Amino acid sequence: MSETPTLTLYDQLGGEAAVNAAVDIFYRKVLSDHRINRFFDNTDMEQQAAKQKAFLTMAFGGPNNYNGTDMRNAHARLVKMGLDNSHFDAVMEHLSGTLQELNVPQELIAQVAAIAESTRSDVLGK
Amino acid sequence: MKKISLGDQVSFCYEGETVLDALLRDNIDIPNSCKQGACQSCMVRSLDVEPPVAAQSGLKDVLRKQKHFLACLCYPEQDMAITLSQQPEFFTEGTVMEKRPLNQETLLLTVECKEPLDFYAGQFVNLKRVDGLMRSYSIANSRLHDKKLTFHIRRLAGGRFSEWVHQELLVGDKIAVSDPQGLCYYLPTRFEQNMLLIGTGSGLAPLAGIITEALQQGHTGDIHLFHGSREMDGLYWIEEMLELERQYPNFHYTPCVSRGDSPEGVAVGRANDIALSRLPDLKGWRVFLCGHPEMVNETKRQAYLNGASLKDIYADAFHVASTSLD
Ligand SMILES: Cc1cc2nc3c(=O)[nH]c(=O)nc-3n(C[C@H](O)[C@H](O)[C@H](O)COP(=O)(O)OP(=O)(O)OC[C@H]3O[C@@H](n4cnc5c(N)ncnc54)[C@H](O)[C@@H]3O)c2cc1C
Ligand code: HEM
Ligand code: FES
């Protein structure tokens, strides 16, 4: 049990509803970005969107079951395709851009960015 | 390798195989058609473990809770005991009322059902022949007719069901009609929302049902239909659609051919390319895509990039055993 009476980051952002609103914007940014969209060339859009939702829920500090090994495994295929720091930076850019578009306060955006940033070495398989 | 028990029979499901693959290899007679999770004809039920979530996609909540799943989507995570017969698909008896050519390769089939069908415009049913052969076909009419259903059936060379419908099925013959299915349908809400509908070949069928329904319901937003085929003779219902356009100022129709000559009024190019270049901003639109699976997938992505929300994009890919459908 948590003893802190304060709202979690996830709750402050607005929980699942916020994630849903963000997925639409975020995924569109990613797919439109020629630097990284080749990694998302999967024909099943719903499935991909579901994975982006998993990504955002995690970055928003929401409930998720991913650990470092899962992150490595989920992206191992992409590392083989050449996933590197520049691609990671592009995703970080879209993450902040999405939250700005949704008028999320800057200090919450910084917290989200910090969570995403903490996965860098696992995502890049370093 | 996982063990799949069905009654006292055990099949083995190897890495990368679906439950359907395993059962068919053992010559177990299980209905199936699309092998893509679209037609739901291969639905079975787990008697023990929870089926993988991915194998339940598209199923209604009640069915999921009862551990029903689609055998063609199920890569088992553990041994499973399953049953075929728990929730037999409900069929009503249909009688063929009319067969009329729409063009060289497509016919309009009218079937009168014994029971009225509770469907949404755009849904499909599975039609089943006496020997059990079954295929999915979209309902081409609105809900005004809930007993008399029309279908656009395209003949595929060597296609078992479609060739049979074209050549052997007679007016007066019986054919079984399943409960309506599918998530690509028109809900009579948000009448002011603009709608884009793109169909290739017999993909016009569900779109025609949706358009008729929407216009009858008093939809006020703009409704844009793009119907595409390779050549002129693959199009049909041009006159009917033009007539509808004259009748309803908010309905706009663009026939498209990707090859060969086209008369005036027919756009040259693929229907999806033409539609998306003419309608670059789809923010807030409702989008319907039916027909060739590649067209459907490609356009889903493009419509989304043009601003449509994923929840507003409805699609039915007409999967067939081979890729010969347009
Ligand atoms: C949701 C949904 C809705 C649909 N709605 C419609 C509709 O409204 N109208 C419509 O016309 N269709 C529709 N379809 C497609 C329809 O269900 C059938 O798939 C289609 O009619 C072909 O069935 P068939 O039995 O004639 O062909 P099949 O016998 O299944 O064969 C399909 C194709 O594969 C080829 N083929 C078969 N066996 C082999 C083999 N061993 N090797 C190589 N090639 C082979 C055949 O020549 C044929 O071209 C829909 C499909 C879905 C999933
Ligand atoms: C910023 C840190 C990142 C986090 C926290 C993250 C998180 C996730 C999560 C949770 C999943 C779902 C895994 C699953 O359930 O299968 C996923 C999948 C995916 N991620 Fe990331 N991700 C990050 C960065 C990236 C980057 C930089 C790219 C590529 C440019 C990328 C591309 C993908 C793709 C393509 C998938 C789907 C993989 C598949 O097809 O199975 N991710 N990610
Ligand atoms: S065969 Fe499994 S859903 Fe069509």
Give the pLDDT of residue A47: 73
Q: Is B165 exposed, middle or buried (0-12, 13-18, 19+ CB in 10 A)?
A: buried
Give the pLDDT of residue A70: 85
- The pair of structure tokens assigned to B35 is 């092998």
The CA distance from A20 to A6, in Å, is: 23
Q: Mean of the pLDDT values across residues A16-21?
A: 87
Integer CA distances (angstroms), A54 to A115, A125, B104, in order = 14, 19, 48
Contacting residues of A for B300, CB less than 8 Å apart: 45
Give the pLDDT of residue A41: 74
The CA distance from B292 to B234, in Å, is: 13
Residue A11 lies in a domain: no
What CATH number should be reported for the domain whose range is B91-178?
Answer: 2.40.30.10
Unique residue bearing structure tokens 């270049």: B277
B271 CB neighbour count, 10 Å cutoff: 28
Give the residue numbers in A contacting B (CB under 8 Å), as ranges. 24, 27-28, 31-32, 43-46, 49
Give the pLDDT of residue A98: 96
In one-letter notation, the amino acid at residue B238 is I
Residue B294's closest CA among B269, B315, B268? Answer: B315
Residue A9 lies in a domain: no
CATH 3.40.50.80 fits B195-317, yes or no: yes
**Ranges in chain B annotated CATH 3.40.50.80:** 195-317
Yes or no, beta carbons of B297 and A49 under 8 Å apart: no
Give distance in angstroms: CA of A73 to centre of ligand 3.
30
Contacting residues of A for B309, CB less than 8 Å apart: 24
For chains A and B, CB pairs below 8 A equal 20
In one-letter notation, the amino acid at residue A101 is E
How would you write the pLDDT of chain B (326 residues) with one tens digit per residue? Answer: 899 999 889 999 998 899 999 999 999 888 888 888 877 889 999 999 999 988 988 777 667 878 899 999 999 999 999 998 555 568 999 999 999 999 999 999 999 999 999 899 999 999 999 998 999 999 999 988 889 999 999 999 899 999 999 999 999 999 999 988 888 899 888 999 999 999 999 999 999 999 999 999 999 999 999 999 999 989 999 999 999 999 999 999 999 999 877 888 899 999 999 999 999 999 999 999 999 988 998 899 899 999 998 889 999 888 775 444 44
Nearest CA to ligand 2 atom 1: A116
Q: Are B153 and B109 in contact (CB under 8 A)?
A: yes
Q: Mind listing the pLDDT tens digit for each residue in A29-73?
A: 999 999 999 998 765 777 788 788 889 988 999 887 788 888 898
Global pTM value = 0.79
Give the pLDDT of residue B324: 41
Is B126 touching ligand 3 by the criterion CB < 6 Å?
no
Q: Mean of the pLDDT values across residues A2-27?
A: 84
Percentages helix, strand, coil for chain B (3-state, rounded to 5) are 25, 30, 45
Give the pLDDT of residue B23: 94
Give the pLDDT of residue A4: 54
Q: Give the atom of ligand 2 at the shortest distance from the alpha carbon of A95.
A: 1
Tell me, yes or no, if B78 comes closer than 8 A to chain A by beta carbon.
no
Is B42 touching ligand 1 by the criterion CB < 6 Å?
no
The CA distance from B197 to B225, in Å, is: 5
**Among chain B residues, CA nearest to A49:** B310
Residue A54 lies in a domain: yes
The CA distance from B246 to B36, in Å, is: 39
Give distance in angstroms: CA of B50 to centre of ligand 3.
19
DSSP characters for B71-91?
GGG---SS-EEEESSSSPPPE
User: For residue A70, what are the domain limits?
Assistant: 19-123
Mean per-residue pLDDT over chain A, rounded: 88
Contacting residues of A for B307, CB less than 8 Å apart: 28
The CA distance from B71 to B45, in Å, is: 9
**Ranges in chain B annotated CATH 3.10.20.30:** 2-83
Closest Cβ opposite residue B300 in set A24, A32, A45: A45
Give the pLDDT of residue B20: 95
Q: Mind listing the pLDDT tens digit for each residue in B106-143?
A: 999 999 999 999 899 999 999 999 998 999 999 999 98
Tell me, yes or no, if B301 comes closer than 8 A to chain A by beta carbon.
yes
Contacting residues of A for B301, CB less than 8 Å apart: 31, 45
Give the pLDDT of residue B326: 43
The CA distance from B182 to B4, in Å, is: 28
Q: Are B129 and B71 in contact (CB under 8 A)?
A: no
Give the pLDDT of residue B88: 58
Yes or no, beta carbons of B304 and A28 under 8 Å apart: yes
The CA distance from A117 to B294, in Å, is: 36
Give distance in angstroms: CA of B91 to centre of ligand 1.
21
Domain B2-83 class, CATH top level = alpha beta
Q: Give the atom of ligand 2 at the shortest distance from the alpha carbon of A51.
A: 12
Yes or no, beta carbons of B301 and A24 under 8 Å apart: no
Contacting residues of B for A32, CB less than 8 Å apart: 305
B261 CB neighbour count, 10 Å cutoff: 9
Alpha-carbon distance A34 to nearest alpha carbon in chain B (angstroms): 13
Is B30 touching ligand 1 by the criterion CB < 6 Å?
no
The CA distance from B30 to B118, in Å, is: 26
Give distance in angstroms: CA of A20 to centre of ligand 1.
36
**Ranges in chain B annotated CATH 2.40.30.10:** 91-178
A114 φψ region: left (φ > 0), alpha (ψ -120 to 50), beta (else): alpha
Is B55 touching ligand 3 by the criterion CB < 6 Å?
no
Give the pLDDT of residue B322: 45
Domain count, chain A: 1
Q: What is the CATH classification number for the domain harbouring A25?
A: 1.10.490.10
Q: Mean of the pLDDT values across residues A102-120?
A: 94
Is B70 touching ligand 3 by the criterion CB < 6 Å?
yes
Residue A1 lies in a domain: no
ipTM: 0.72
